Amino acid sequence: MATAVAQEAERLFSNLLHVECQPGAQWTLERCHEVAPLICEINRLKAEKNAIILAHSYVDPEIVYGVADFKSDSYALSLEARNSDADVILFAGVVFMAETAKILCPDAQVLVPDLGSGCSLADSLTGAELAALKARHPEAAVVCYINSSAEVKAVSDVCVTSANVYRIIERLPQREILFVPDRLMAANIGREMAARGIDKVIHSSDGTCLVHDQFTAGAIAEARVRFPGVKVVSHPECTPEVTEASDFVGSTGKMMEYVSDTDAAYFMLLTECGLVSRVEVENPGKQFVGSCRLCPYMKLNSLQKIRDVLVDPRPHQVIELDESVRVAALRSIERMFELS
Ligand code: 13P
Ligand code: SF4
């Protein structure tokens, strides 16, 4: 057993040796030895309970590289949930992602380590508020970003993620689109549709992501002076000024692909720090300009909470949905799979 724990510590360290475990401090082999017993226990519990852990790339790297069975963006993780035959799905991410897994896998027990792991976008709009907005735009197709509650998905025609948003909106027959709950992504959609020569009118609600709405075009301009040759990579939740000034805009999964496929002196990633840790681990020769921000909700996940919820899930850590809401929300997600 001691050998298995030591091997786990060394395996983890080989992944994390260039990554910070807290601002200004790198991972060390000693720190990996401290967390390895918990990682081994979680991996044993998963096997015992036929459980899988789906981890969004924004959660801490010891979760991503220690216990996750799948690590990716919201779209790929929803596909993993849909294809899974696990009895237990533990979502290391935020609540709307776990709800999506429950919508797709009603027979599985879906767990979250911390029910406080909300999202400033998902929490900005209720299903009743969307129903009222819909009444004001009766001709519009209602498109919800996956960063929304199950109730909002249930009132929508189609769900999208940052990996498929432009393609799906382009393919919808309606000219008018009510896109919720991210007004910055709505502005980026309007810009992208105009660039593609597609005539759409985009309405939205008033949410923003508290991580991505902070990045500025001024910081990009400064980085271009200080780091000649830098490639700026941003997420469509950023402001249109930021996406316009970027070299590449895409989902967290597409951002990772862009970095691995591109030669550049430096990369500046305008997104959450967990993704920057992932690209650092998976692109050891590349240089990154410090630019990321922390999502407080994603950071509520921890190895200890993952272990505790697997041992003894408390009622508030188990995702439960009203069946009529789940079935209605499933329609908008299945429409996304059809149109992706
Ligand atoms: P992705 O779907 O691109 O992973 O984004 C999820 C998210 O919450 C971004 O802030
Ligand atoms: Fe929500 Fe932004 Fe956090 Fe993503 S990064 S979960 S959009 S608050």
pLDDT tens per residue across span 22-75: 778 899 999 999 999 999 999 999 999 999 999 999 999 999 999 999 999 999
- Work out the average pLDDT over 179-200: 98
Counting from 1 in the atom list of ligand 1, the atom nearest the Cα of 56 is: 4
Question: What pLDDT was estimated at residue 22?
Answer: 79
Burial code (b: 16+ CB inside 10 Å, e: under 16) for 110-149 equals bbbbbeebbbbbbbbbebebbeebbeeeeebbbbbbbbbb
Who wins on pLDDT, 290 or 105? 105
Distance CA 154, CA 142 (A): 11
**Distance between CA atoms of residues 140 and 155, nearest Å:** 13
Amino acid (1-letter code) at residue 203 = H
Over residues 151-167, the mean pLDDT reads 98
Per-residue pLDDT of 279-321, as tens digits, reads 999 999 999 998 899 999 999 999 999 999 999 999 999 999 9
In this prediction, residue 35 carries a pLDDT of 97
Calpha distance 195→178 (Å, rounded): 19
209 lines ligand 1 (CB under 6 A): yes
Q: Is the pLDDT of residue 2 over 80?
A: no
- For residue 285, which phi and psi values (nearest 5 degrees)? -85, -5
- CB of residue 161 inside a 6 A radius of ligand 1: yes
Alpha carbon distance 31, 155 (integer Å)? 47
Q: Is the CB of 251 under 6 A from ligand 1?
A: yes
Distance in Å, CA 108 to ligand 1 centroid? 24
3-state percent breakdown (helix, strand, coil) of the chain, nearest 5 = 50, 15, 35
Residue 1 pLDDT exceeds 70 = no
Q: Where are the alpha helices (DSSP H) in the chain?
A: 2-16, 29-49, 61-64, 74-83, 95-104, 127-136, 150-154, 165-171, 183-195, 217-226, 240-244, 252-261, 273-282, 303-311, 323-339
Average pLDDT of span 185-192: 98
List residues near ligand 2 (CB under 6 A): 94, 119-121, 147, 209-211, 237, 272, 295, 297-298
Question: What is the number of other CB atoms lying within 10 angstroms of the CB of residue 104?
Answer: 23
Counting ligands in written order, which one lies closest to the CA of residue 56? 1
Mutating to test ligand 1, I would choose from 54, 56, 70 the residue with most ligand atoms within 8 A of its C-beta, which is 56
**Mean pLDDT for the stretch of residues 256-278:** 97
Q: Say how far apart CA 275 and CA 163 lie, in whole Å.
A: 15
CB atoms within 10 A of CB 323: 9
Nearest to 27 by CA among 37, 14, 40: 14
Taking the C-alpha atoms of residue 134 and residue 267, their distance in angstroms, rounded to an integer, is 41
